[in-house]
A and B are shown apart, each in its own frame.
Chain A
């Protein structure tokens, strides 16, 4: 009856969901912080993704890259990003579901987005950029 749904639920709420997930979100693992100096300046500056980054959305390979980047995220970050962006849940709903504070959710979403952007830059736009350079 609700097989498909509960399967997805299993993904989102896979083990430990009742144990404080907060540690996962704000633990010493801090890829986002690594991108900034102590003064809060970009250590690794985001690159320009070219004039028409949206062209990528029409390419099948891009979606494989995107999926790969999603998979490379720590589970908790992938979960909050998926709930917010793919399922379009409101922040309050996600906080209630995962029993986390708004602050923790915001930090987790921020980290997920930073990581995804970094991953796409390295694995998609970076490569494209090199190709474009070769042409010039």
Chain B
């Protein structure tokens, strides 16, 4: 059985990549047996929700937060993508 430390690392990684079956099973088993790690999983779920909303929530604030692109920059990127600059992607 994997340790809580390993489980916590796998929980984090599950947000970045599809875990191999073996690790998924090991994590599930651990979560069934452990009464602490499910709390960490809940915290990570919350953190993901919060992180998704962070850029829009802090956009309204002045000055622009240092952790996200400015609206202006986002518009420019969107525009560049829409124009389909050569070599910028399959479209």
Q: Are A42's CB and B16's CB within 8 A?
A: no
Query: What's the Cα separation between A39 and B2 when bound, in Å?
Result: 10
Interface size class of B (residues with CB under 8 A): 35 or more
Query: What's the Cα separation between A134 and B30 when bound, in Å?
Result: 34
Query: What's the Cα separation between A87 and B37 when bound, in Å?
Result: 28
Query: What's the Cα separation between A119 and B51 when bound, in Å?
Result: 14
Q: Is B31 an interface residue (CB 8 A)?
A: no
Q: Which of B52-79 contact A (CB under 8 A)?
A: 52-55, 57-58, 61, 65-70, 72-73, 76-77
The residue among A3, A39, A82 with the most chain B CB atoms within 10 A of its own CB is A82
Number of A-B contacts (CB under 8 A): 115
Return chain B residues, CB-CB under 8 Å to A2: 73, 76
Query: What's the Cα separation between A5 and B74 when bound, in Å?
Result: 8
Q: Is A41 an interface residue (CB 8 A)?
A: yes
Closest CB in chain B relative to A93 CB, distance in Å: 11
Q: Which of B1-35 contact A (CB under 8 A)?
A: 3-6, 8-9, 12-13, 15-17
Return chain A residues, CB-CB under 8 Å to B69: 4-5, 8, 87
Q: Are B72's CB and A4's CB within 8 A?
A: yes
Q: Are A113's CB and B47's CB within 8 A?
A: yes
Q: Are A113's CB and B66's CB within 8 A?
A: no
Query: What's the Cα separation between A11 and B57 when bound, in Å?
Result: 20
Q: Is B82 an interface residue (CB 8 A)?
A: no
Query: What's the Cα separation between A57 and B54 when bound, in Å?
Result: 9
Return chain B residues, CB-CB under 8 Å to A48: 39, 42
> A residues within 8 Å of B by Cβ?
2-5, 7-8, 11, 32-33, 36, 39-42, 45-49, 53-54, 56-57, 63, 66-67, 70, 78, 81-82, 84-87, 91, 105-107, 109-110, 113-114, 116-117, 120-121
Closest 7 CB pairs of A and B: A40-B3, A85-B51, A40-B5, A4-B73, A110-B12, A4-B70, A5-B73
